[in-house]
Amino acid sequence: MKIFTVIGARPQFIKAATVSRAIENDESINETIVHTGQHFDDNMSRVFFDELNIPRPLHNLDIHSLNHGAMTGRMLEQLEELILIEKPDVVLVYGDTNSTLAGALAASKLHIPVAHVEAGLRSFNMYMPEEVNRIITDRISTFLFCPTTEAIENLRKEGFDYNTCHVVNSGDVMYDAALYYADKAKAPATGVPENFILATLHRAENTDDPQRLTSIFEAFNTISKEIPVVLPLHPRTRKIMEKNGLKNNSDQLILTEPQGYLQMISLLKNCKMVMTDSGGLQKEAYFFRKPCITLRNETEWVELVNSGVNKLGGFDKSVIVDAFRSFRNSDTFFPENLYGNGDASQKIIQFLKEFY
């Protein structure tokens, strides 16, 4: 079986690491990895291939720093050319980025089956480009590997029971990664306090709105006066903060460079709480039994909110601070096995092998 894997962004590198490792252990499968270049900074790209031992991409398209339409269009054009050359049996895509959509569209138009890992997620916010990407990718995929029962239920409500496709509850490959790399964690080069909150902020709906960005940053400043906040900054977020003149007013708000995956695992293992607008980090907080405040008004990981381990803080300073104090003043119960048993990668590969 020939698998053509499309990746381009930090979360996809982590997911691909687990599935590619399963592929490497199977001599009957040949994988071609293509990096679209969507995340190109060394701290957001190369370090992951080095740390996670991901096979080097055969092709790097170096497409980045463009508007959504231009970026997706150029990826679609170049991926189509490569698929025509490689002639794979299936095109494998992850998540909900422009790289995901471009890979799925290129394959679908060439009548190559698409396998979508992390299918069925919905935030029900069509202003999010990720929501548009994941909905379209699901609709044109042949194999939909869902991380949760909620994801499967989303597809059922959308009529996927009547589509010509295979919907599989595979569990979450990110859980596979968390289990595999937990003992390989590396402490960040920059020292961090003994007790701290881990925060990240990168989504355009937060960073591109000066009012939202200011409110969230003020919440970080306020909370850091009670417990230190460690904030690894996405390069784009740092530039926007500098442009808007945002500065930390507390010496306990610690701004760092982006961290590699193994460094982030170390931070997760040692922090007291997480504040983030990232989808992946919400789950990783759960994997390591850390309460999480999501800096959005909705989340695709509804099971975390329903179980009480995640609170939606939005972008309002007072709501974020109240959520922080609520978690800090009470114990949090973490239910088991929301994302499978840690064998999602093997399930995905075994299911695909049954067809080829």
Which residues are known to be catalytic? 202
How far, CA to CA in Å, does 265 sit from each of 150, 281, 305, 315, 331? 26, 10, 22, 25, 22
Q: For residue 226, give the amino acid letter.
A: E
Q: Which of 312, 264, 277, 271 shows the shortest CA–CA distance to 289?
A: 271
Contact 92, 115 (CB under 8 A): yes
Please state, in angstroms and rounded to a whole number, the distance separating the CA atoms of residues 204 and 154.
Answer: 25
Name the strand (E) or helix (H) holding 349: helix 344-353
Helical (H) or strand (E) element with 231: strand 229-232
Under a CB-based contact definition with an 8 Å cutoff, are residues 107 and 101 in contact?
no
Nearest to 349 by CA among 176, 184, 181: 176
Measured over the CA atoms of residue 256, residue 259, residue 264 and residue 270, the dihedral's sign is negative
Say how far apart CA 7 and CA 37 lie, in whole Å. 8
- Nearest Cα to Cα of residue 199 among 221, 166, 174: 221
Contacts of 313 (CB under 8 A, 6+ apart): 219, 275, 293, 294, 295, 319, 320, 323
Instruction: In whole angstroms, give the CA distance from residue 279 to residue 241.
Output: 22
Among 193, 191, 182, which residue's Cα sits nearest to residue 252? 193
Q: How far apart are CA 225 and CA 287, in angstroms?
A: 27
User: For tokens 């930090």, what's the residue?
Assistant: 10
- Residue 293 near residue 308, CB atoms below 8 Å: no
Start-to-end CA distance of the chain, whole Å, equals 6
